[in-house]
Structure 1
Amino acid sequence: MSSPTTTDETGIWATIREAPPAVKALLVGVFVNKLGWFLQVFLVLFLTTSKGFTDVQAGTALGVYGGGTVVGLIVGGSLSDKLGPRMAVMISMFGMAGFVLAIAYVPNYATVLVVVALAGAVGQFYRPASAALLTELTPKNRQVMIFAVYRLAMNLGTTAAPLIGAALVAVSWNLLFIGEALAALAYAAVAVVALPKRAKAPASSEVSEVSDVSVAEAAPSTGGYLAVLRDYKYVLFLLCMFINAAIYMQYLAVLPLHMKSEGLSTWWFSAVVALNGFIVITCELLVTKVVQHWPARMVAMIGFVLLGGGLAFYALPGGIAIFVIGTLLWTLAEIIGGPTMFAYPGMAAPKPLLGRYVGSAHAMFGLGSALGPFLGVWIWNNAGTRVWLWCGLAGAVGVVLAYFGMQPTAETEEPVVDITPASEPLPSESS
């Protein structure tokens, strides 16, 4: 048999084909759920056209939703550790279905804000749980690739969702919310049927007979998020996630303003965004097939160089060619670094805190995504195109943080000897 670290055995189809049934179900469930990702896309339009609220009120509601998602990612990490990924996904999807339906019928603006915040929070519980389960059930040498497949499932779903949503809105706004609720319930059904239950904790007599390592792995999570914060290297990685998201979001916040100021039509901005989406969907798995064998720290550093450099490239004169080249550079950063950055929390986490490590990483990315646009537009209004140079500087800071925060350890870099699923139940499986 060939070495387990060969490209063939960590390739795209081998990773998908030999993944445990629960992982395949998880990928399908996430894809179906994202097909119904309507709320964030259509919330402002719904509140202004159907409910009659002002633009400011609708924008505030969208901001409240974003804040709720950050809180939900943190809570979701704790739920995953305490109750298990399967239960966290079920709570998230059943709760999301109820809150989404409620938005269509709540009577006043204050209630809308409350329900939107709850929908944003509860609807994100599943993300740390899903990522934690992918980590648990996938051999280490295939984790970067499985996260690339996971990202593809999400990207395909979110790309199709606005088109499906527009078709539903043409019939009825209520149908839009019913559609998202059904998508959430479909993922909940996948969790009920296909995801493994958490194993019962061993009795005290059984614990005394196992090794110290086994006891540590079987013990319930302790320390909460304070234990995560005591991992100083990982805190540096969390700052990497924040910076990554904050500067990445400028393609949605500042880029359209810059292109408009250059006299370019909205069509050109749409074409640039579509170029990014096309490359990510078609090329990310192929690139991951190569970079998954590189040290995680090196991949992250290359990603920050390309991300910061690509955005800084926008500061140059040259018209549409500059925007296309800059977009190609930071898109390359996304397809090189994205899967590794989102797989790394599972590599760095101790098992009892896996959900919290994953949840904190997703939360920092969400916080960067929420604050980045405000910071970017503020700098644009005060400094013009120099905002892109600040993005380049932030990318350089990310390189330094990745170097010191993602130092290789025996836990994260050791080779995997056996790529076949273990015959014994995993910590999250039923006994």
Structure 2
Amino acid sequence: MYWRSWDTNLKVRLFGELITHTFFWMYFPFMALYFSDSFGKDVAGILLMVPPLLGMLSNLFGGYLADKVGRKATMLLSLCTSSTMFAIFAFSGSPFIDYLAFIGIGIASSLYWPASSAMVADLTTEEDRRIVFATFYTAMNIGVVAGPVLGSFFFVHYRFELLLFCTAVELLFACAVFFLIRETLPAEVRAQKAQERFSISQQFKSYSVIFRDKVFALYIGAGILVAIAFMQLDLYMSLYVKEYVHNQRLIWWGDWSLSVGGTSAFGWLMGLNGLLVVLLTLPVTRWFQHWSDRNSLVISSVLYGFGMFLMAFTANIWLLFGCMAILTLGELIRTPVAQSFISKYSPEDARGQYMGASSLQFSIGRFIAPLAIGASQWLSPVGVFGIIFAVTLISAALYVRLFRMIPQEEQTPSQP
């Protein structure tokens, strides 16, 4: 699917999300340090546990809104809320108000993504969906790579100006959504949903029906296991590299050399991961475009766990680069397929809710993942990385089981 043939909705959103995501990552990585300085490490650690919890609820609510009032309306609510929160953050003179604004920004962001993913699914065919999702994933990761680099200067030296700029960017994107983007929730679905009474109990009832869907529940379970392994990039892997990868020459020329070790080595590894994601997401998606969803999800889980497991056997930075390339390949194969699978599997009138519920796998995985750090007190690196690899193998087995169930569901249709 070529760029010129894309719907205007997708073009506007791709550009807008690239800009807003870059500004998001110009401040987000520094919030833990900011709140640690403001409240102390112990209090900050507790405070930073709240946003993911609220984010889970917001994702579910965002999916419910996307199916009831529409994708466009939900995105506008998110963008207007986030611009307001950025303005409060900019003009606040209290760390506590800053924290509340930070929570508000997180809630607004969580509201946005189910509607955004559902809109992509509304506007693309099944064969084009992987490429489009991969393009949006590439744009997001350009922000992940560029944002922290810019933020390390602007957040430290020009925090007020940066937050004001974030406010303006969110408002401009909201205006673009309002004037340039049309609603994609089918009119008949909107009319049907409008007759339903809006209530929290109705929302929970809708999600209880979704989670009784055995195939979807199995998909969430497998995704949680993958998320546990994926989160180790920032958790146990960073600890392992800091403790075991000692200072060594990365490149050298004659008498000159560049040495890395510990924290600097971890930075180089994460930089490689981000660079590979930006450069190879679209090529890898095209290479594996004709693979089935089952094979793609199974192979990606195995590659990710295997790449991480190999790290336990080396402290050489170049071999670690190779391990990072293997696990990043698994990440690149998985991401567009996982998004495409949900949009294909979910019914049209509940697509936003399925997208919102799908996000739970990452939120739950983020909560469980830190247990690997605790396990490292009693286990060697081989033991910890071995457990991580085992988790991804179990995930692969669950995906195999999942795709054996889908034909049975199709042969005997039933409401989830």
Q: Which residue of 1 aligns with 2:54?
A: 68
**2:34 aligned with 1:46:** yes
Q: Which residue of 2 aligns with 1:401?
A: 398
Q: Which residue of 2 aligns with 1:268?
A: 265
Whichever residue aligns with residue 215 of structure 2, its letter is: K
- Say if 1:116 and 1:190 are closer, same or farther in 2 by CA, change over 3 A: same
**2:238 aligned with 1:256:** yes
Q: Which residue of 2 aligns with 1:91?
A: 77
Structure 1 position 247, deviation (Å)? 0.7
Runs of 4+ with deviation above 6 angstroms: 410-413
Whichever residue aligns with residue 34 of structure 1, its letter is: H
Q: Secondary structure at the match of 2:359?
A: helix
Q: Which residue of 1 aligns with 2:225?
A: 243
Q: Which residue of 1 aligns with 2:375?
A: 379
Q: Which residue of 2 aligns with 1:117?
A: 103
Q: Which residue of 2 aligns with 1:327?
A: 324
Structure 1 position 334, deviation (Å)? 0.8
**2:216 aligned with 1:234:** yes
1:363 to 348, 360, 363: 360
Q: Which residue of 1 aligns with 2:14?
A: 27
Q: Distance in 1 between matches of 2:138 and 2:187?
A: 35
CA deviations on 1:377-418 (whole Å, 9 max, x unpaired) are: 1122232311110111100111011112245858999xxxxx
After superposition, where does 1:275-424 map in structure 2 within 5 Å?
Answer: 275-317=272-314, 319-372=316-369, 374-385=370-381, 386-407=383-404
**TM-score using structure 1 length:** 0.82
Q: Distance in 1 between matches of 2:173 and 2:56?
A: 21
Q: Distance in 1 between matches of 2:262 and 2:12?
A: 42
Whichever residue aligns with residue 83 of structure 1, its letter is: V
- Say if 1:176 and 1:271 are closer, same or farther in 2 by CA, change over 3 A: same
Deviates more, 1:229-238 or 1:157-166: 157-166
1:178 to 145, 164, 173: 164
Q: Which has the higher helix share?
A: 2
* Contact 1:32–1:186, Cα closer than 8 Å, also in 2: no
Structure 1 position 168, deviation (Å)? 2.4
- Say if 1:79 and 1:16 are closer, same or farther in 2 by CA, change over 3 A: same
Q: Which residue of 2 aligns with 1:208?
A: none
* Contact 1:149–1:285, Cα closer than 8 Å, also in 2: yes
How many residue pairs match? The answer is: 384
Structure 1 position 295, deviation (Å)? 1.1
Whichever residue aligns with residue 401 of structure 1, its letter is: L
Q: Secondary structure at the match of 2:183?
A: coil
CA deviations on 1:171-199 (whole Å, 9 max, x unpaired) are: 43212222222232232122112221256
Whichever residue aligns with residue 23 of structure 2, its letter is: G
Q: Distance in 1 between matches of 2:87 and 2:367?
A: 25
Q: Which residue of 2 aligns with 1:7?
A: none
CA deviations on 1:69-120 (whole Å, 9 max, x unpaired) are: 2222121111111111111111111101112332345565655544433321
Q: Distance in 1 between matches of 2:186 and 2:285?
A: 36
Q: Distance in 2 between matches of 1:175 and 1:48?
A: 22
Structure 2 unaligned segments of length 5 or more: list them.
Answer: 197-201, 247-260, 411-416
Q: Which residue of 1 aligns with 2:138?
A: 152
Q: Distance in 1 between matches of 2:304 and 2:363?
A: 18
Q: Distance in 1 between matches of 2:308 and 2:186?
A: 49
